[in-house]
Amino acid sequence: MKKDTVSLFLMVDACGWEIIRDHPFLNKVAPYRHKLRTVFGYSSACVPSIVSGRWPDEHLNWCYFTYDPENSPFQFLRWMRWFPRVISSRRTFRRLVTRLSRKRLGFEGYFDLYNIPFQFIDRYDFTEKKSPLRPGGMNRGENIFDLLQREEVPSFVGDPTEAEEVILKRLTERLERGEIEFGFVYWAGLDGLLHSVGNDSPEIAERLDRYQAWIEEIYRSASQHYNTVNLHVFSDHGMANCDVHLDLAAKVEALPLKLGRDYMVVYDSTMARFWFKTTDSRRQVETLLREVKEGRIMDEEELRQLRAPVDHTRFGELFFLVEEGTLIVPSHMGEKPIRAMHGYHPDDPHSDAALFTNVEELPCGVKAIPDLYQLMVAAITKRKTRDLLTKQRYYDRSQARELLPQDR
C-alpha cells in the first residue's frame, strides 16, 4: 500500500539560472522553473539562509573568517609561523593541518584553514563551528532541521561529507521502504567542477545530465511508493567565469603600512575585508582602493540593503568588492587562479540561483533563496494538518462505535 505524501528538497550547489537557462534540465519531472535572487556572500551565507529562512544579518553565518583576537580558537597554531612558506602554503600541508585542527576543536560544520597566514592565525575566528545542516547548527536562531526534530517528522537528511552516489543510494532505499515524509539532500559536486573548468565547459552539461538521471531515479522510486511526490530542486547561487585576475594584496602591501600593526585584512576570492588600527591607515587604504578599477568600496547603506551583518565589525570595517568575472588572486582562499567563482554582487547576472519543481502553484513570496524555507515549512505544516485530520477521523469513528450500542 502506498504512503500518502513525501516532500523532497534536493540542492545542487552552484546550479545557477544562467547555467541552466538554455538547458532542458529536469523538464520531465520538475517542469516549473523559477529564478531566485541569492544572498550577498558565499556558500557560508547561502546555505544557512536557505535552511533558516533568514538573511545573514539575522543568522550571522556570513564569511568564514573574522577578525576577533579575543575569541580566536587558533592560538595553538601560531607556532607554525616559523614554518618555511614553501611548506606552509602547500595545499596538501594545509589540508592535513585543517583535518587535525577540526578534530582538536570539535568543529562540526565546513572547515578549511585555506591560506590564512600562520603569523596572524591567532587573531582570527571561524564562524561555522556548527553545521547548519543539523539541528542547533545556526549561529543565531533555528533551522529547518530543528523543526523536523521537534515535530518528529520521519525524514532523510543527506550527509554532505559522503559521496554523492552514496547519498543517492541511501535516499532511494528509504523511499522504497516508504520510511520518510521529508527528504533533504545537498550535492556539492557541480560547484567544485565549475570552479575548475568554468561554466562553458562541455563537462558541465555532462554533470547536469548525471544529476538529472539521479533525480529522475529518485522521483520514480518515490512515485512507486507514495501517492503524492512534491519535488523541489534548487541551488544557492550561480557561477561566473573569471577572466580578470587582481593581485590586490600586492597593491596594499606597497603602501607604507604594516600588516598586523596598521591594519588587518581577509582577502576572500571576490571581496577584501579590512580592519584598521588608525584613521590614517584607513585613509591610505581607501585612497588606494578608489583607484582600483576592477572593483569598488561598498558603502554601509548598500551593505545594509543586502542584509550583510555590518553591525558586527568582526566581519569587517571596510569592504571592497570586485566586478563579476574578476578573481582576487592570490587570496586567503587560494594562491592559484581558478576558472570560475561566485560571491559577486547579487545583482550580477551570474549570481542568480534556480528552483525546479513539479508544484505548479508556489507562494507568491518565493523570490530569493531564503524563501525556500517557506516551502519546507509548508511541507511540514501540511503533514501536521494531515496527521490532525487523521486523528480526528479516528476519534470520530471511535465515538461512533461507542454510541452504536446505546442508540440501539
Output the domain CATH number for residue 287: 3.30.1360.180
157 and 236 within one domain? yes
Query: Is there a single domain that holds both residue 143 and residue 261?
Result: no
pLDDT in the model for residue 85: 84
Q: Are 385 and 255 found together in one domain?
A: no
Number of folded domains that form the chain: 2
Q: Are residues 227 and 248 in the same domain?
A: no
pTM (whole model) above 0.95: no
Q: What is the pLDDT of residues 67-79, one digit of tens each?
A: 999 999 999 999 9
Model confidence pLDDT, tens digit, residues 158-193: 998 899 999 999 999 999 999 999 999 999 999 999
Place of cell 550535492: 187
Determine the pLDDT at residue 84: 87
Q: Are residues 47 and 157 in the same domain?
A: yes
Q: What is the pLDDT of residues 106-162, one digit of tens each?
A: 999 999 999 999 999 999 999 999 999 999 999 999 999 999 999 999 999 999 889
DSSP 14: T
For 89-142, where are the alpha helices, taking DSSP H only?
Answer: 91-105
235 and 250 both lie in a single domain: no
223 and 146 inside one domain: yes
Note the pLDDT of residue 405: 39
Q: Are residues 213 and 320 in the same domain?
A: no
Is residue 176 located within the same domain as residue 325? no
Three-class SS of residue 15? coil
Tell me the mean pLDDT in the region 271-293.
98
Neighbours of 21 (CB within 10 A): 12
Residue 116 lies in a domain: no
pLDDT band of 387, cuts 50, 70, 90:
low
Query: Which of the four pLDDT bands, split at 50, 70 and 90, describes residue 388?
Result: very low
| 37 secondary structure, DSSP code | B
Predicted confidence (pLDDT) per residue in 224-258, tens digit? 999 999 999 999 999 999 999 999 999 999 999 99
Q: What is the pLDDT of residues 4-48, one digit of tens each?
A: 999 999 999 999 999 999 899 999 999 999 999 999 999 999 999
Backbone phi, then psi, for 126, in 5-degree steps?
Answer: -125, 135
Residue 157 is placed in which grid cell? 537528511
Is 340's pLDDT higher than 80? yes
Quote the pLDDT of residue 296. 98
- Look at residue 383 in the predicted model and tell me its pLDDT: 66
Average pLDDT for the chain: 93
Contact (CB, 8 A) for 120 and 77: no
Q: φ, ψ for residue 314 (rounded to 5)?
A: -65, -20
How is the chain split among helix, strand and coil, in percent rounded to 5? 40, 20, 40
Q: Which helix (H) or strand (E) holds 7?
A: strand 3-12
Domain of residue 271 covers 243-337
**187 found inside a domain:** yes
Alpha carbon distance 274, 276 (integer Å): 7
The three-class DSSP label of residue 322 is: strand
Q: Are residues 248 and 333 in the same domain?
A: yes
pLDDT at 86: 83
pLDDT-based confidence at residue 311 (cuts at 50, 70, 90): confident
386 — pLDDT class (breaks 50, 70, 90)? low
> Per residue, what are the HEC states of 240-293?
EECCEEECHHHHHHCCCCCECCCEEEEECCCEEEEEECCHHHHHHHHHHHCCCC
Give the pairing of strands 244-246 and 65-67. unpaired
pLDDT of residue 46: 98
pLDDT of res. 141: 97
pLDDT tens for 365-377 read 899 999 999 999 9
Provide the pLDDT confidence category of residue 363 given band limits of 50, 70 and 90.
confident
Are 221 and 324 members of one domain?
Answer: no
